[in-house]
Chains A and B, each alone.
Chain A
Amino acid sequence: DAKTTQPTSMDCAEGRAANLPCNHSTISGNEYVYWYRQIHSQGPQYIIHGLKNNETNEMASLIITEDRKSSTLILPHATLRDTAVYYCIVRVAVLTGYALNFGKGTSLLVTP
């Protein structure tokens, strides 16, 4: 199972872009990179996922390096409501379902 490494915490000023890095140097060719976030005591919220190409949706952009050993989640204009723990997860197959291995994530604090 590919493991991920994220910084423990980050700060970002409101209105600025938040760039959250993730290292997954042992990722295999058919494993996807998923990003979730969890606001205190709530269920995790899906943000975005990708395999090789960069992806963008209404919430964020995902930049994956060409060698796929690392990625960056970009929140283009962070707001106070983006304060949460952000999890970078490499998908693991468990029979026909799959387990999301949530690590410790990055605690993002968006400040006024």
Chain B
Amino acid sequence: ETGVTQTPRHLVMGMTNKKSLKCEQHLGHNAMYWYKQSAKKPLELMFVYNFKEQTENNSVPSRFSPECPNSSHLFLHLHTLQPEDSALYLCASSTLSGGEETQYFGPGTRLLVL
């Protein structure tokens, strides 16, 4: 599916680097999400944006900084990460219309912090 795209697909960074992950949805949705999936662990919700407003921050360290400039784009800015932050970072989007809401995921960015 190409409804939700993420770039880059793979990223290697040092602990002192600053990098950004990008997510774009082409589905006309108005909510976007960042999830983290560490090795052999379930997906964990990090952030939720509804109509460009952050409505959920799931106790995520400040070295992760989200940005949602419009309802189609979502960024995750990374700085001074730790090796334990190495994981698959997944973006998702959904339509907030009450009742039934389905999240659609992008392919993910595989991040390795050295």
Q: Do A102 and B43 touch across chains, with their CB atoms under 8 A apart?
A: yes
Closest to A48 in B: B102
Interface 9-mer from A9-17, A18-26, A39-47, A65-73 = A39-47
Q: Given the complex of chains A and B, what is the CA–CA distance between A67 and B109 in angstroms?
A: 40
Query: B90 — which chain A residues lie within 8 A by C-beta?
Result: 43-44
Q: Do B105 and A97 touch across chains, with their CB atoms under 8 A apart?
A: no
Query: A45 — which chain B residues lie within 8 A by C-beta?
Result: 1, 105
Closest to A42 in B: B107
Interface residues on B, range: 20 to 34
Closest to A30 in B: B99
Q: Do A97 and B108 touch across chains, with their CB atoms under 8 A apart?
A: no
Q: Do B50 and A96 touch across chains, with their CB atoms under 8 A apart?
A: yes
Q: Is A103 an interface residue (CB 8 A)?
A: yes
Q: Do A44 and B102 touch across chains, with their CB atoms under 8 A apart?
A: no
Q: Do A34 and B102 touch across chains, with their CB atoms under 8 A apart?
A: yes
Query: B107 — which chain A residues lie within 8 A by C-beta?
Result: 42-43
Q: Which residues between 41 and 82 of chain A lie within 8 Å of chain B, taking CB atoms?
A: 41-46, 49, 51
Q: Do B33 and A43 touch across chains, with their CB atoms under 8 A apart?
A: no
Kindly provide the distance from the CB of A85 to the nearest chain B CB, expressed in whole angstroms.
Answer: 10
Kindly provide the distance from the CB of A74 to the nearest chain B CB, expressed in whole angstroms.
Answer: 19
Query: B103 — which chain A residues lie within 8 A by C-beta?
Result: 46, 98, 100
Q: Given the complex of chains A and B, what is the CA–CA distance between A42 and B110 in angstroms?
A: 10
Interface residues of A (CB under 8 A from B): 32, 34, 41-46, 49, 51, 91, 94-104
Can you name 13 A-B residue pairings with CB atoms under 8 Å?
A32-B100, A34-B102, A42-B108, A51-B100, A95-B48, A95-B50, A95-B55, A95-B56, A96-B55, A97-B31, A98-B103, A99-B45, A99-B56
Pairs A-B, 4 closest by C-beta atoms: A43-B105, A97-B48, A102-B43, A99-B45
